Amino acid sequence: MSKTKTSLFLICLFTLAISVLAWGVLKGELEQNISGSDFQNQRREMVEKQIKKRGIKDRLILDTFLRVPRHRFVPDEIKSLAYSDRALPIGEEQTISQPYIVAFMTKALNLSPQDKILEIGTGSGYQAAILGELCDSVFTIEIIASLGNRAKLLLEELGYDNIIVKIGDGYQGWEEYAPFDAIIVTCAPTQVPTILKDQLKEGGRMIIPVGSSYRQDLVLLRKANHQLVEEKVLPVIFVPMVDTTGKKY
């Protein structure tokens, strides 16, 4: 190889090394930024633009959404989308609900600090974390073991000692801890399960998506004088409620 070619080769090699080094530094800075104050800014913007501006102005609920780090509940590869106005995939063909829907369902239950809550469909654990900030205790059931176990570990890591996670069929509820002050369901059966109605305390509330894969409504139920009053409150699309074999309820 001639001296000229050797020089050019060395220059190219040096330039490549500098480029790789620069990208490494930049990548590190980006990761540092997105894991720190940037997430806090995104969370504030989410609360202001996606939740408060749509009519949910309960200060306790807004403060809760400001505290809970939603980005911890989504896969690493889509953390930059954690605070966007949409549902996001979390694996196993499941999703973490749009922030506004989580807030809407939470608000609809008219929760009190002493309430005991049953959640059907743990998923990522985000809704359970929101409830855990607002209520005395949360009992949450996930039928997909990989999701339920991952959510359990994360909730423990974040310090939620008032949330109990169970792997099982949520259609059956959780008789051991019934009755519940409120029940929230984050997957859609075609009809409201009678078992869940029975596990609702007198004066209790339930919010649940009901319908087919193509048409669902959020239904709010209130139990008074041993009777349930049902009200359709919002059209939605949730993943279907299924049994242990994957058959839709």
List 7, 19, 80, 97, catalytic entry: 97
Smallest CA-to-CA distance from 19 within 11, 29, 7 is with 11
Asked if 115 contacts 183 with a C-beta cutoff of 8 angstroms, the reply is no
DSSP 8-state secondary structure symbol assigned to residue 62: H
Can you spell out the DSSP letters for 6-50? HHHHHHHHHHHHHHHHHHHHHHHHHHHHHHTHHHHHHHHHIIIII
Smallest CA-to-CA distance from 112 within 97, 93, 134 is with 134
At residue 142, the 3 state secondary structure works out as: strand
- Distance between CA atoms of 94 and 96, rounded to whole angstroms? 7
Asked if 122 contacts 150 with a C-beta cutoff of 8 angstroms, the reply is no
Cα-Cα-Cα-Cα dihedral sign, residues 169, 171, 175, 180? positive
Residue type, 75: P
- Distance between CA atoms of 63 and 59, rounded to whole angstroms? 6
Is 97 an active-site residue? yes
- Residue 214's H or E segment, with its range, is none
Q: Active-site residue numbers? A: 97
